[in-house]
Amino acid sequence: MPDSPEDPLLVSSRREAIISAAVWFVATSYSVIYCWLYGTNRTLDSLTFVLGFPDWIFWGVVIPWLGCTVFSAWFALFYMRDEDLGETADLPTEFSGVPESHHGSPSAP
């Protein structure tokens, strides 16, 4: 039996999910490792502040969050694209979820 080509919507959504999961994994790994290495076993004398945050919080949490925010905006605005979902099916009114008495009634709540 010949393999049918995958739906372009499935291919696109799978690619986008893999990219999103990879970015999440990299950002989480970086944050946990950086904060563990630079935030533990510190003396008060070695603690410095960047924009009011302890340095290890700024570089281990704030900067990755900002990076992920910028990446998410770019990803959503420029990388992701709309795919054709196909033709919409005409469902009978009994499947619309609206009671029969409210169909076509402009005054109905």
pLDDT tens, residue by residue, 56-107: 999 999 999 999 999 999 999 998 877 777 777 666 666 666 666 655 555 5
Amino acid, single-letter form, for residue 80? M
What is the C-alpha separation between 5 and 13, in angstroms, rounded? 15
- Who's near 56: CB < 8 A, 6+ residues apart? 34, 35, 38, 39, 42
Locate the domains of the chain by residue range. 18-39+48-82
pLDDT tens, residue by residue, 17-33: 999 999 999 999 999 99
Prediction pTM value: 0.67
